[in-house]
Amino acid sequence: MAPGILLALLGVAVVAWIAYNGVQNGKLFWVVTLNGITLAALFFVVAAGFTLIFGLMRVVNMAHGSLFLLAGYIAFTLQGTLYGVSSNLLSGTPATVVSWIVPLVVATIVIGLAGVLMQQVFLRWNQGQDLRQALITIAISVILADQMVAHFGGIAESIQQPAAWPDSVTVLGVHYGFFRLVVVVGAAIVIGGLLFLVIKRTRFGMIIRAGVDDRSMVSALGVNIQVVFAGAFLIGALLAGLAGVLGGTMLAVQPGNDSAFLLDSLIVVIIGGMGSLGGAAIGSLALGLVSSYSNVYLNFGTTDLTNYSILLTFILVVAMLAVRPLGLFGRPA
């Protein structure tokens, strides 16, 4: 199979190039690898919710990124109004553990409920009409994006991490951000584990898995599929909300993050296959590492091609669609 061999050769060349550079500057390689892993952890939390909704309900929720961003703004506002945490970057009133956790929990729950409301009002009556549903969620995302710019402005805001937490930890001789490495990666692992248990070990999870494979049959067996759909949307939106607060603390809360993270979620699902949690994990890792490495190692002596790094993530998608059109763990039936 020619494309397969070609891709394999390309893959070997890429790995060899990264390895060569890694040997040249081990410290940079390690930092860049950690960047990729921590970014992947954030992608995973966003995309896990997206893939659940996509896989079970066939709804391409184009407002998933807007829910992500809105959660960040809610938590940012709560931190300021409830606790008087300064919006200045790392100056002014610092945040405490409570004034970080409470906004996180509130924002996550609000976004979860908003997701269910959106599903009940806009998506319940038109099930099975993918195009109409995609267009409705696009409309919601555009309206939300404009309202957020009007209300919160175009300047990036940041949610403050608790001042009691260390700024950085030392791993293999490299100082690395504590929040990124411990909190975000830890959250992704915990969420991944919990979702795995829910999906593999509970009745609800069993129904979801059955629904991903064959909705009509699940419905015919007497399961109230509407409740399952609402539950899946709740979980999906909760994850978007949680990721929004994590992302707002790790990176920033700013206009444009909505569409950026929506696109990332789509790429993760294309790589991993829709509805698959393991696929989302591997897809996130692939996307995180590729975007992280390509920002640094797409540099060949005097020829600096790092400005084309965004293309590489799409090449990843094209390669996946060429070899496995359903994604790594996507199943046709």
Provide, rounded to whole angstroms, the least separation between the CB of residue 97 and another protein: 18
User: Given the complex with another protein, which of 76 and 199 has the nearer CB atom?
Assistant: 76
Provide, rounded to whole angstroms, the least separation between the CB of residue 76 and another protein: 12
Measured in whole angstroms, how far is the alpha carbon of residue 283 from the centre of its chain?
A: 10
Our finding on whether 24 is near another protein (CB under 8 A) is: no
Provide, rounded to whole angstroms, the least separation between the CB of residue 272 and another protein: 12
User: Which string of DSSP letters, residue by residue, matches 35-103?
Assistant: HHHHHHHHHHHHHHHHHHHHHHH----TTHHHHHHHHHHHHHHHHHHHH----STT-SSPB-HHHHHHH
Our finding on whether 319 is near another protein (CB under 8 A) is: no
Our finding on whether 186 is near another protein (CB under 8 A) is: no
Stretch that binds another protein, among 4-12, 13-21, 127-135, 238-246 (CB under 8 A): 127-135
User: Given the complex with another protein, which of 107 and 267 has the nearer CB atom?
Assistant: 267
Provide, rounded to whole angstroms, the least separation between the CB of residue 131 and another protein: 6
Our finding on whether 167 is near another protein (CB under 8 A) is: yes
Footprint (CB under 8 A) of another protein, residues 234-253: 251-252
* Per-residue b or e along 49-59, where b marks 16 or more CB atoms closer than 10 Å to that residue's CB: bbbbbbbbbbb
Our finding on whether 163 is near another protein (CB under 8 A) is: no
Q: How many residues bind another protein (CB under 8 A)?
A: 72
User: Which string of DSSP letters, residue by residue, matches 277-302?
Assistant: HHHHHHHHHHHHHHHHHHHHH-EETT
Our finding on whether 79 is near another protein (CB under 8 A) is: no
Q: Name the residue type at position 239.
A: L
Largest Cα span, the chain: 65
Using a 10 angstrom Cβ sphere, with 0-12 exposed, 13-18 middle and 19 or more buried, the burial of residue 210 is middle
- Give CA–CA dist 43/55, Å, rounded: 17
User: Given the complex with another protein, which of 105 and 210 has the nearer CB atom?
Assistant: 210
Provide, rounded to whole angstroms, the least separation between the CB of residue 255 and another protein: 6
User: Which parts of the chain fold into alpha helices (H)?
Assistant: 2-24, 26-57, 64-83, 97-118, 130-152, 178, 185-201, 203-213, 215-220, 225-250, 257-272, 277-297, 309-323
Stretch that binds another protein, among 7-15, 30-38, 100-108, 189-197 (CB under 8 A): 30-38
Stretch that binds another protein, among 8-16, 99-107, 208-216, 233-241 (CB under 8 A): 208-216
Kindly report the backbone phi and psi dihedral angles of residue 19, in degrees, each rounded to the nearest multiple of 5, phi listed first.
Answer: -65, -40
Our finding on whether 107 is near another protein (CB under 8 A) is: no
- Give CA–CA dist 277/196, Å, rounded: 7
Provide, rounded to whole angstroms, the least separation between the CB of residue 216 and another protein: 5
Member of 191, 207, 266, 290 binding another protein (CB under 8 A): 266
Provide, rounded to whole angstroms, the least separation between the CB of residue 278 and another protein: 17
Our finding on whether 322 is near another protein (CB under 8 A) is: no
Give the pair of three-digit tokens for residue 122. 């806009």
Our finding on whether 169 is near another protein (CB under 8 A) is: no
Our finding on whether 168 is near another protein (CB under 8 A) is: yes
